[in-house]
Amino acid sequence: MNPSWIADRMHQIDASGIRKVFDLAANLKDPINLSIGQPHFDTPEPVKQALYHAVAEGKNGYSQTQGIAPLREKLQDWVDETYGHEDRELFISSGTSGGLLLALCTLVNPGDEVLIFDPYFVMYKHLTALAGGRPVLVDTYPDFRIDLNRVRAAVTPRTKVILCNSPCNPTGHVADESEVRGLAELAAERDIALISDEIYRVYCYDRPFISPAQFNPETIVIDGFSKSHSMTGWRLGFVHGPSAVIQQMIKLQQFSFVCAPHPVQWAGLAAWEWDVSDRVAEYRRKRDLIVRELSGAFEIAQAEGAFYLFVRSPWGTGSDFVAEAIRQNVLIIPGSVFSERDTHFRISYAAPDETLKRGAEVLCRLADRGPTA
């Protein structure tokens, strides 16, 4: 094969960080897995039954590109009640990742800059590059809060989009009202598109969830069912924002994803009616458990939402500590996968209590002992 066949954009996408972790873990027998970025509980039974019925009833072809009317209308009613914006339209996307890709490709011209907060969800940089944009990282260390002075300093005439995520993967930070309002107002003041990734919206433990759309009506919100209802493989998301942007995203979806999976959209109706508060309470309890188990040996800056801890390595780099943990049969992710720094590692507490306790015991022992010779 001629190497010149590969498009230049593909060389800007580096999968080596995650690949290295899983290469190290390939030979583990029954690992203590604290790396999973999805809920550990199963999809609610009524949601599964709704999918079975949709398939049996023949809802297996294409839907409208913007999604089936019953689900779209139900979600639109909630959006209208929540925000009360005159111009806020909604469509159903093929997962939140699909929504993010459509949003960036709709908004970003080649060479435009997209502000991304570091640490970041690993996909943000690569989707920006795919859209032809240039990711500009805004540092949030050491406490992972949004510092508006740093944001202002990063803005240039080429800044087109600010991409934010609260509750945050990987840090677990939930932005407070001052952070969210300030960011929303800054984006409006500088005429910059603001995309808010709200896939972990329900998982807020110490303060209420606040969306920048409450303060900036032109905010584009990406949301979905993957994390709240353990439907990660079902690829069901939704996007809402100004109609002029949403209509362009729907047009692009027509010529890319076509539509979200049709029978899954009908299951989404059942999911929207399913109360997930018990799951949220369970993860709050698990957060408390894992923080209690680790707090004597590790520095943990934030743990307010989602189901992640972003933990400072007690010695060496984050990658050094992760490599040693994997040798001890504990699977975690180095912070360098999510950041330009290599000082931390990510733990997911979406796991059974026994797994969390076993993993914490090993990690605390490693923190005290240091690397093996």
- List residues bridging with 373 in a β-sheet: none
Residues 239 and 283 in one domain: no
Q: Is residue 104 part of a domain?
A: yes
**Same domain for 146 and 290:** no
| Domain harbouring 333, CATH code | 3.90.1150.10
Would you state the pLDDT for residue 99? 98
**Residue 25, in any domain of the structure:** yes
- Using CA atoms, how far apart are residues 141 and 222, in angstroms rounded to an integer? 25
Same domain as 238, residue 205: yes
pLDDT digits (tens, 9 = 90+) for 137-175: 999 999 999 999 999 999 999 999 999 999 999 999 999
Q: What is the pLDDT of residue 84?
A: 95
Looking at residue 258, its pLDDT comes to 97
> Is pLDDT above 60 for 373?
no
Cβ(116)–Cβ(104) under 8 Å? no
- Predicted confidence (pLDDT) at residue 19 exceeds the cutoff of 80: no
User: Does residue 55 form part of some domain?
Assistant: no
Mind giving me the DSSP string for 188-220?
HHTT-EEEEE-TTTT-BSSS----GGGT-TT-E
- Tokens 């740093």 found at: 150
87 and 146 together in one domain: yes
Q: What per-residue confidence (pLDDT) applies to 9?
A: 85
- pLDDT 10s digits, 49-79: 999 999 999 999 999 999 999 999 999 999 9
- What local confidence, expressed as pLDDT, does residue 13 receive? 79
**Total domain count, the chain:** 2
293 and 254 belong to one structural domain? no
Do 9 and 128 reside in the same domain of the chain? no
Kindly indicate the confidence band of residue 11, based on its pLDDT and cuts at 50, 70 and 90.
confident
Query: Which structural domain range is residue 26 located in?
Result: 3-43+277-369
In a domain, 56, yes or no: no
With contact defined as beta carbons under 8 Å apart, do 63 and 260 qualify? yes
| Residue where a domain terminates, one of 252, 273, 294 | 273
Q: Are residues 149 and 286 in the same domain?
A: no
Same-domain status, 323 and 193:
no
Dist CA 285 CA 291 (whole Å): 10
Q: What phi, psi does 339 have (nearest 5°)?
A: -155, 160
Q: Are residues 167 and 240 in the same domain?
A: yes
Among candidate residues 244, 273, 302, the one where a domain is terminated: 273
- Please indicate, yes or no, whether residues 339 and 244 belong to a single structural domain of this protein: no
In terms of Cα–Cα distance, which of 306, 304, 305, 325 is closest to 371? 325
Say how far apart CA 134 and CA 129 lie, in whole Å.
6
Confidence (pLDDT) at 220? 98
> Is 53 within the bounds of a domain?
no
Residue 51 domain-assigned?
no
72 and 214: one domain? yes
CB 177 within 8 A of CB 204: no
Cβ-proximal residues to 180 (8 Å cutoff; 6+ apart), any chain: 146, 166, 210, 211, 212, 214, 215
pLDDT in tens, 239-295: 999 999 999 999 999 999 999 999 999 999 999 999 999 999 999 999 999 999 999
C-alpha torsion angle, residues 258, 262, 266, 268 (rounded to 10): -50
Could you give the angle at the alpha carbon of 137 between the alpha carbons of 133 and 140, nearest 5°?
A: 155
Judge whether 79 lies within some domain. yes
Residue 49 in any domain: the answer is no
Do 268 and 282 belong together in one domain?
no
Report the mean per-residue pLDDT for the chain: 95
